[in-house]
Chains A and B, each alone.
Chain A
Amino acid sequence: MSDALSDAGSDVNQDDAQEDVMTPAELIAKLEEAWLNEKFSPELLENKSEVVECVMEQLSHMDANLQRVKKGDAKASIHRMEIDRIRFVLSSYLRSRLRKIEKFFPHVLEREKSRGEGDPSLLSPEEFAFAKEYYANTETYLKAVALKRMPPNLQTVDMLKAVPEPCLDSFVFLRVKDRQENILVEPETDDQREYVVDLEEGSQHLMRYRTIAPLVSSGAVQLI
């Protein structure tokens, strides 16, 4: 099972390969982490397609194993339940991403376009294809039903301006995984000095997403 779960890259040396191998439990923990972060963050996070692919592989692996187990075996139904639960988390994770892609499609595509070479991509290849089609489909529809029937100077709508951006000022609950110092909660204004906090490991907070967004992507905090 472990080679099914290891990252691609079989020709790296032994030590590196060792680090790349994840146990199934670690993999599921990674999925749950990504799932909760995606569920609670107002914006679309970086894609985790390697986790998705590994989990899918793991699921079909488990499924194949189950086929070999005799019918009526009690262990089989426990395994099947486990498959169902993992599949739920995976589907729910992909659903929240897809929903945000639809909700913010012009911005998501814009970010993808302006991404520097070598920067991690926000969307997986499948999501990118979906987003592009969604954009084209929606634009075609608006044009055909109304925009092309309008006076010449009104036949386009700037989708980037029309479709709202994610609200980064939403508040989120989080748990601290790695201690952080000097997190700027409010910048200095005329009436108050800047407001800075330390985040202790294991502590939980309710904070403005914008202030801790980098910590979510670095994995230092977990949204809950």
Chain B
Amino acid sequence: MFCEKAIELIRELHRMSDGQLPAFNEDVLRQVLQEMEALYEQNQTDVNEAKAGRAELIPSIKLRHCCLLRNQRCLTAYLYDRLLRIRALRWEYGSVLPANVRFHMCAEEVQWISQYKKSLASFMRSLGGGEGLDITQDMKPPKSLYIEVRCLKDHGEFEIDDGTVILLKKNSQHFLPRWKCEQLIRQGVLEHVMS
């Protein structure tokens, strides 16, 4: 049956329902586009014959057209869902994405996310009449100003509000301003220790 390749793409994403981004599947994408081309060409031929009087070809033309639309839908949905996953990465990782994630994007996706980052940044900068507010922080209601954190891996030097620099060494424990740590906790560098 037609459109089997297209559903393969959809299933690939559907299986990873947690939002992870699998590698961009240019190979299958190209196969779907090739199938579309073939369907389109066959339909062109049949349409011409149908116009010349062979009306019995119409059901087949219609069937191929349904397949073309289906392929178009699957490809669009595949790409759109990937954008939603890529967008999530910006919110989870912060503005710098790790190489192993970027590796899974195609060139246009890299472009999309950098434009998205730009739009988001200028949106945040323009808030409050140009004063700016980082809304990717403060994801949970604050309970205290300072929190106890444990370092899960070596991260190097880290500057806090008042200019003090501390060394984030694996297994070291620190008492730090909450809003300074949020991102590092989300990235799994620090762990919030609850007393």
Binding site for B on A (CB under 8 A): 52-53, 55-57, 60, 77, 80-81, 84-85, 87-88, 90-92, 94-95, 98, 102, 125-127, 129-130, 133-134, 137-138, 140-142, 144-147, 149-151, 154, 157, 162
Contacts and interface: CB of A to CB of B under 8 A. Distances in A.
A138 B179 contact: no
B76 to A, nearest CB: 5
A130 B141 contact: no
B145 A84 contact: yes
Given A91-B137, A149-B33, A84 B127 contact: no
A145 B72 contact: no
Contacts, number: 110
Contacts of B76: 142, 146-147, 157, 162
Given A85-B142, A129-B122, A151-B36, 10 more contacts: A77-B145, A88-B142, A126-B123, A137-B116, A141-B108, A142-B76, A145-B79, A145-B109, A150-B36, A154-B36
A142 B80 contact: yes
Nearest to B84: A102
Contacts of A126: 123, 126-127
B37 A151 contact: yes
Interface string B88-125: 00000000000000000010110110011011101100
A52 B87 CA distance: 25
A133 B135 contact: no
Contacts of B133: 56, 87, 90-91, 94
Interface of B: 29, 33, 36-37, 40, 68-69, 72, 75-76, 79-80, 83, 87, 106, 108-109, 111-112, 115-116, 118-120, 122-123, 126-129, 131, 133-135, 137-138, 140-142, 144-145, 178-179
Contact of B123 (A91, A130, A140, A147): A130
Nearest to A80: B145
Contact of B141 (A53, A85, A125): A85
Q: By DSSP majority rule, is chain B's interface helix, strand, loop, or mixed? A: helix
Nearest to B78: A146
Contacts of B129: 53, 56
A154 B69 contact: yes
A140 B126 CA distance: 25
Contacts of A125: 126
B79 A102 contact: no
What 5 A-B pairs have minimum CB-CB distances, sorted nearest first?
A: A56-B128, A151-B40, A133-B119, A91-B135, A88-B138
A133 B144 CA distance: 37
Nearest to A138: B83
B87 A53 contact: no
A95 B142 contact: no
B112 A137 contact: yes
A144 B109 CA distance: 10
A125 B128 CA distance: 11
Contacts of A91: 133-135, 137-138
